[in-house]
Amino acid sequence: MAEQFDVVVSGAGPGGYVAAIRAAQLGFSTACIDDWTSAEGKAAPGGTCTNVGCIPSKALLQSSENFEHAGHAFAEHGIELKDLAIDVKRMLARKDKVVRQNNEGIAYLFKKNKIRFFHGVGRFTGGAAGAWQIEVSGEGAAALSAKNVIIATGSKPRALPAAPFDNKLVLDNEGALAIPAVPKRLGVVGAGVIGLEMGSVWRRLGSQVTILEVLPVFLGAADEQVAAEARKQFTKQGLKIELGVNITRVETGKEVTVEYVDAEGKQESARFDKLIVSIGRVPHTAGLGAEAVGLELDERGFVAVDADCRTNLPGMWAIGDVVRGPMLAHKAEDEGVAVAERIAGQHGHVDFNTVPWVIYTSPEIAWVGQTEAQLKASGVAFRAGSFPFSANGRARALGDVRGFVKILADARTDRILGMHAIGPMVSELIAEGAVAMEFGAGSEDIARICHAHPSLSEAVKEAALAVDKRTLNI
């Protein structure tokens, strides 16, 4: 006899585990299935984000930034260090510990919210509206029946056709987060979010990093001015970024040789000790049993959903990386909450226009809403205000005055349409832009709000003042 649940969530990444918590909070009997297994052979809930994504990458970014600061920034503060060295093994062990703490935190949350967790692969075997049948295979083998199903099976790295991942020389995100010793020459294919973050980590630790990007423009999704400043800063740090590159061959032996045609059409060849391939991710539906129930996938292999995350089947929903939209943990989480609330007859809502983007390089990059180029393309008249961190007292005290904050506001109504920033801790500052946009605030609202002094957030207030051409500190 199958165990019956109101809600069964397939996948315990940020989309799935948060959806399960919200469903349980709303009074539904809830189960969550996840197949991720740690190196020690234990269940490791948290998905890509916790195990090989957001969390471990930020742990390594912090360690490597500490190392870089100790080597380059401390002397200015009068702090002398001798014989500075990096112990990569210890750095990776710390990262693994941070991951484990997050896995354990999610297991605790399942218990706290009385969510049944099944460790294994969940596969649809049949059923119909109100009683979908799911078989779990693996450690937590079971047969489940669900009134509602939330598919949150995430994504997998996309490989270069010429270079399958071996995680020895050709690395996906998992391999990139576990390189056992600093490679002398590191190649990165793709100047996207992973390429820039992981390239930064290993450059700070001493690798010569070359990033090969197919597109002729750098960070095309970001505001042009932000992208230009980022390119300038990364180049100054020693990241070699080649745009408009077409990779023709990848050969592995003792090292990796990449043959490519550069932007001028010249055939080039580069040799690396390791090659990270970060050219985007593909939806993960293998083993789900979509065909057994007639679950529709779109032409790119994503589970097909409407704006509310409904699939083609009644009572079956899908969220996060396995469906259209940005592949971001917070987008997955918000969709999970919204779907649980919709199942309860409420009106959960996710506005893609206010989903913030952050790239955790140094300087950090963050934005929310529309770019200048998008506004121009859609013919919206706007006013822009910028403020550089070089004129912010807290940034000077921190010793990091790179970058700026820019606010774009509707020329007629003053409503904020976008915030774009590059600089210290802009990953935190961007929340103010998102809040302002959600509340329909104008730039004047931010300009009139009292911001603590000295704080980096004053750059946001000054950017808002700049929209009306009345900055106070520049």
The residues annotated as belonging to the active site are: 453
**What minimum distance in Å lies between the beta carbon of 185 and ligand NAI?**
18
DSSP string, 344-386: TT------GGG--EEE-SSSEEEEEE--HHHHHHTT--EEEEE
Residue 215 binds ligand NAI, judged by CB under 6 A: yes
**What minimum distance in Å lies between the beta carbon of 455 and ligand FAD?**
23
Please choose, from the candidates 246, 199, 190, 248, the residue with its C-alpha nearest in 3D space to the C-alpha of residue 220. Answer: 190
Region label for 6, one of left (φ > 0), alpha (ψ between -120 and 50) or beta (otherwise): alpha
* 4: number of Cβ within 10 Å: 13
The rounded distance, in Å, linking the Cα atoms of 410 and 286 is 45
Closest CB to ligand NAI among residues 159, 391:
159
How would you class 2 by CB atoms within 10 Å of its CB: exposed for 0-12, middle for 13-18, buried for 19 or more? middle
CA atoms in the 13 A half-sphere facing the CB of 59: 23
Q: Please, where are the H alpha helices in 357-408?
A: 372-377, 393-398
Binding-site string for ligand NAI from residue 355 to residue 374, where x marks contact by CB under 6 A and - marks none: ---xxx--------------
Please choose, from the candidates 389, 394, 352, the residue with its C-alpha nearest in 3D space to the C-alpha of residue 374. Answer: 352
| Residue 330 contacts which entry, ligand FAD, ligand NAI, none (Cβ below 5-8 A, type-dependent) | ligand FAD
Say if residues 29 and 5 touch (Cβ distance below 8 Å): yes
Helix, strand or coil for residue 386? strand
DSSP string, 126-147: EEETTEEEEEEESTT-EEEEEE
* 210: number of Cβ within 10 Å: 20
- Tokens 């809830």 correspond to what residue? 30
**What minimum distance in Å lies between the beta carbon of 362 and ligand NAI?**
13
Scanning 38-46, 97-105, 207-215, 298-306 for contacts with ligand NAI by CB under 6 A, the matching segment is 207-215
Helix, strand or coil for residue 279? coil
Closest CB to ligand NAI among residues 146, 434:
434
Residue 280 binds ligand NAI, judged by CB under 6 A: yes
The rounded distance, in Å, linking the Cα atoms of 272 and 21 is 45
**What minimum distance in Å lies between the beta carbon of 119 and ligand FAD?**
9
Residue 247 binds ligand NAI, judged by CB under 6 A: yes
| Residue 213 contacts which entry, ligand NAI, ligand FAD, none (Cβ below 5-8 A, type-dependent) | ligand NAI
| Residue 14 contacts which entry, ligand NAI, ligand FAD, none (Cβ below 5-8 A, type-dependent) | ligand FAD
Say if residues 24 and 48 touch (Cβ distance below 8 Å): no
Closest CB to ligand NAI among residues 290, 358:
358
Scanning 13-21, 211-219, 265-273, 338-346 for contacts with ligand NAI by CB under 6 A, the matching segment is 211-219
Closest CB to ligand NAI among residues 215, 397:
215
| Residue 446 contacts which entry, ligand NAI, ligand FAD, none (Cβ below 5-8 A, type-dependent) | none
Determine which helix (DSSP H) or strand (DSSP E) holds 385, and give its type and residue range. Answer: strand 382-388
Please choose, from the candidates 336, 328, 332, the residue with its C-alpha nearest in 3D space to the C-alpha of residue 359. Answer: 328
Helix, strand or coil for residue 442? strand
Please choose, from the candidates 303, 268, 260, the residue with its C-alpha nearest in 3D space to the C-alpha of residue 282. Answer: 303
Closest CB to ligand FAD among residues 358, 408:
358
Residues that contact ligand NAI, how many (by CB under 6 A)? 24
Instruction: Write out the two tokens for 62.
Output: 């912090």
Say if residues 332 and 347 touch (Cβ distance below 8 Å): no
Residue of 47, 195, 356, 423 that binds ligand NAI (CB under 6 A): 195
Helix, strand or coil for residue 51? helix
Closest CB to ligand NAI among residues 131, 215:
215
Residue 159 binds ligand NAI, judged by CB under 6 A: no
Scanning 236-244, 279-287, 308-316, 414-422 for contacts with ligand NAI by CB under 6 A, the matching segment is 279-287
Using only C-alpha atoms, the chain has a radius of gyration, in whole angstroms, of 24
- Which residue, judged by CB position, is nearest to ligand NAI in the bound state? 192
Closest CB to ligand NAI among residues 144, 430:
430
Residues 293-332 that bind ligand NAI (CB under 6 A): 326-328
| Residue 287 contacts which entry, ligand FAD, ligand NAI, none (Cβ below 5-8 A, type-dependent) | ligand FAD
Say if residues 33 and 118 touch (Cβ distance below 8 Å): yes
**What minimum distance in Å lies between the beta carbon of 365 and ligand NAI?**
9
Please give the residue ranges that form the binding site for ligand FAD (CB under 6 A). Answer: 10-16, 33-36, 47-49, 53-54, 57, 121-122, 152-155, 173, 194, 284, 287-288, 320-322, 327-330, 332
Residue of 33, 99, 191, 434 that binds ligand NAI (CB under 6 A): 191
| Residue 190 contacts which entry, ligand FAD, ligand NAI, none (Cβ below 5-8 A, type-dependent) | ligand NAI
Residue of 115, 193, 309, 430 that binds ligand NAI (CB under 6 A): 193
| Residue 215 contacts which entry, ligand FAD, ligand NAI, none (Cβ below 5-8 A, type-dependent) | ligand NAI
The rounded distance, in Å, linking the Cα atoms of 295 and 48 is 23
316-318 and 142-151 beta bridge pairing: parallel
Closest CB to ligand FAD among residues 53, 442:
53
Positions in the binding site for ligand NAI (CB under 6 A): 160, 189-195, 197, 212-215, 247, 278-281, 326-328, 358-360
